[in-house]
Amino acid sequence: MKIEDKKRVLREMVLHRRFEERCYQAYIERKIGGFLHLYPGQEACCNGVMEAARPGHDYVITGYRDHVHAIKCGAEPKEVMAELYGKETGSSKGRGGSMHIFDAGKRFMGGYALVGGPFPLAAGIAKAIQLKGGDEIAICFLGDAANNQGTFHETLNMAALWKLPVLFVCENNLYGIGTSIERSTAVVHQHKRVAAYNIPADECDGQDIEIVYEHARKAVDHVRAGNGPFFLELMTYRYRGHSMSDSRGYRSREEEELWKQRDPIFILRDRLIAEKAITMAEFEAIEKETDAYIENEVIKFAEESPEPRVEDLEKYVLADRDTQLPWLTGKAA
Amino acid sequence: MANIMYWEAIQRAHDEEMARDPLVICMGEDIGVAGGTYKATKGLYEKYGPLRVMDTPISEGGFTGLAVGASFLGVRPIVEIMSVNFAWLAMDQMFNSAAKVRYMSGGQLTAPCVFRSAGGAAHQLGAQHSARMEKVFMGIAGLRVVTPSNPKQAYGLLKSAIRCDDPVFINEHELMYNMKGEVPDGEYFHPLEGSEIARAGTDVTLFGYNISVHWCLKAAEILDKQYGISAEVVDLYSLAPLDRAGIKASVSKTHRAVIAEEDEAPVGVGSEVIAIINEECFFELDAAPVRVHSALVPQPYNHTLEKATIPDHEDVVKAVLKMFGKA
Ligand SMILES: Cc1ncc(C[n+]2csc(CCOP(=O)(O)OP(=O)(O)O)c2C)c(N)n1
Ligand SMILES: [Mg+2]
């Protein structure tokens, strides 16, 4: 990666981290409700892959741990935060919540709460790209445990069969809620599971963004060149619990500590310092500026935004009736 | 009588049945080492080991089918589907395999499985984690559906469901696991069929099930104290089959009916109860029966919108007052 890009991405990753930490605080303050799944620890995965892809141009879909993916695609952080606050100005108008961030304009096709649900949706998006003849690709970010759903196998088969332009990114953080991968899955290294479908696959460290970027570039190029699907597995770790109600009794503090020593942000920071591209003081300034931005723009916007109106409860359930009358009444001209 | 929580009652039923019969097993996501999302299987993994308390992969269609297959050979699996929203993925096996195998095989095979799941809307869990799905299960030939409104039922219905040779779906509620109530100290088998009069009354029958029984009880209290209306509350703990005789008996006494459901109205418990009233005792009615139900929208995340979708005891009171021309 170019130095300038690395410096920019470092700043973005700090934003992603601080945004999530601020969500944690807002949840404790009961400003955010429902289920909240945070991303700290895994930032190099989304960032590394999307640096190799074209955010806002390529289509991205994921599960419920979706804030950072949305922001990386170009969603406004303040609109994502407003969504978490349930406000009308939120990215899903306050109807979706944390697990359902959407920004279709930025080609972020959403977060979905049912494990394994997005696999075939991603293949369908790829099918549409194929039909329309664009140069976009579909990127599906999901966890390791999702691969135990039937949709994983069914989708891999179809994607390979029809040579669909879809990149499957498996963020293998070693756990599905409180069950470790050894206890849920016969094969720990997920890329081995796709060999049977004739799909090229690769695995790499998910904590070092430059490594992720190098592997992702090959993956993205492969798919964009019309060679069909690719499966990229990134070995990573989530620092917080699965969601807010998780006290992490299923793993040891020592294991967590080991992974914290491979913090994706610190890996990039220290490399840039070693390369004399930034100083520690500059990094600390980035953190401060980021916090100020989150407080003064992101949180403020979410706090001050209006709630949806109860009269609009049934808005978005179906298409606007007036626009559909010919079909609803059978009186098409 | 022990005063215990809903989850403890479920845990106790598991424990007693597993201690009695080595072919009773349980399975589901995070039920073993983690003890279950709602603690309903707490301590069982330590006691009965991984062969009988199975932490499954996130493969609802797969492990539900596996349970059904095991039940063909006499195993009695208790399958926990973490949230009823995920049951969509398991329905093929529940409906096409478990519910039909006895019939398709001319009585040769049976599927004595128990499927338990956390239903209902909790707080702001959004469209894909808040569905009420009773209506989906209650119209399937070959499947029994029960839904406990208190710890005693949670315990006794599970005990009976495990012993029963039919597949049984148990619809629990996310917001009720910590509810306390009296449970008999000795072994107790709650009937899988029938209904229960939770409060006797003479002027109107309030039909509820699971969480809506509590709205009805609260409404009955208010109607009695503030308006002098004596409401009878009937707890429809069995949704399939519905208790035709119980519905008829109560409406024949009160001549009025309100059905409260957390589910949306179309094709639901309310429509079914009203159809039964029409068939069994139409000429006993003094007023048209009324449904109190959720709005037909995917559950909104926003707290205010969410509240606007789900009824509560006040909506039951309003419906009754309107029926009596007092509002
Ligand atoms: C169909 C379905 N089953 C179960 C769940 C409950 N659930 C939510 S996340 C999760 C674990 C998923 O783990 P993984 O795919 O590894 O993703 P991670 O959370 O680690 O990012 C489970 C079991 C669900 N949401 N949907
Ligand atoms: Mg995982």
For residue B191, whether the previous peptide bond is cis, meaning omega lies within 30 degrees of 0, is: no
Pocket flag, ligand 1, residue A179 (CB < 6 Å): no
Nearest CA to ligand 1 atom 20: A176
Question: Is the model's pLDDT at A303 over the cut of 90?
Answer: yes
Atom of ligand 1 nearest to the CA of A171: 21
Flag whether pLDDT at B317 surpasses 90: yes
**Which domains are present in chain A?**
3-329 (3.40.50.970)
User: Are B269 and B305 within 8 A, CB to CB?
Assistant: no
Q: Using one digit for the tens of pLDDT, what is the confidence trace for A168-201?
A: 999 999 999 999 999 999 999 999 999 999 999 9
Work out the percent of chain B whose per-residue pLDDT is above 70.
100
Q: Establish whether residue B134 lines the binding site of ligand 1, counting it when its CB lies within 6 angstroms of any ligand atom.
A: no
Question: Which residues does A284 contact at the CB level (< 8 Å), separation at least 6?
Answer: none
Residue A166 has pLDDT above 90, yes or no: yes
Please identify which residue in the block is written with the tokens 């009880």.
B217
Contact (Cβ atoms closer than 8 angstroms) between residue B220 and residue B247: no
Complex ipTM tops 0.85: yes
**For residue A58, what pLDDT is reported?**
98
Is residue A304 less than 8 Å (CB to CB) from chain B?
A: no
Q: Is the CB of residue B58 below 6 angstroms from any atom belonging to ligand 1?
A: yes
pLDDT of residue B93: 97
Among A37, A310, A313, A317, the residue to mutate for chain B (most B Cβ within 10 A): A313
Beta carbons of A116 and A151 less than 8 angstroms apart: yes
Which is nearest to B293 in space by CA: B178, B63, B77, B134? B134
User: What residue ranges define each of the domains in chain B, with the CATH number in brackets?
Assistant: 2-183 (3.40.50.970), 196-323 (3.40.50.920)
A114 touches chain B (CB under 8 A): yes
Cα(A27)–Cα(B124) distance, integer angstroms: 12
Number of H helices, E strands in chain A: 13, 8
Mean pLDDT of chain B: 97
Query: Looking at CA atoms only, how far is residue B275 from chain A in angstroms?
Result: 28
Catalytic site includes residue B279: no
pLDDT above 90 covers a percentage of chain A that reads 98
Phi-psi region of A32 (alpha: psi -120 to 50; beta: other; left: phi over 0): beta
User: Is A95 an interface residue toward B (CB < 8 Å)?
Assistant: yes
Using CA atoms, how far apart are residues B326 and B317, in angstroms rounded to an integer? 11
DSSP state for residue A104 in the 8-state scheme:
G
The pLDDT assigned to A205 comes to 98
Check B302 against A114: CB less than 8 A apart. Answer: no
HSE-up of B90 (CA within 13 Å, CB side)?
A: 29
Contact B300 A183 (CB under 8 A): no
pLDDT digits (tens, 9 = 90+) for A94-139: 999 999 999 999 999 999 999 999 999 999 999 999 999 999 999 9
Banded pLDDT at B327 (limits 50, 70, 90): confident
Give the whole-number percent of chain A exceeding pLDDT 70.
100
Torsion angle of alpha carbons B51, B57, B60, B65, nearest 10°?
A: -40
Q: 100-159 in B: which are within 8 Å (CB) of A? A: 123-129
Which residues 31-50 in chain B show a CB within 8 A of chain A? 33-34
Residue A333, pLDDT above cutoff 80: no
Q: Is B123 a catalytic residue?
A: no
Provide the mean pLDDT of chain A: 97
pLDDT of residue A332: 79
- Atom 5, ligand 1: which residue's CA is nearest? A115
Model confidence over A36-52: pLDDT tens digits?
Answer: 999 999 999 999 999 99
Give me ligand 1 centre to Cα B58, in Å: 7
Indicate which residue of B17, B60, B134, B196 is catalytic.
B60
In this structure, are residues B237 and B157 in contact, taking their beta carbons and an 8 Å threshold?
yes
Q: Which phi and psi angles does B204 have, rounded to 5°?
A: -160, 145
Residue B299: predicted pLDDT: 97
Active-site position among B16, B129, B255, B280: B129
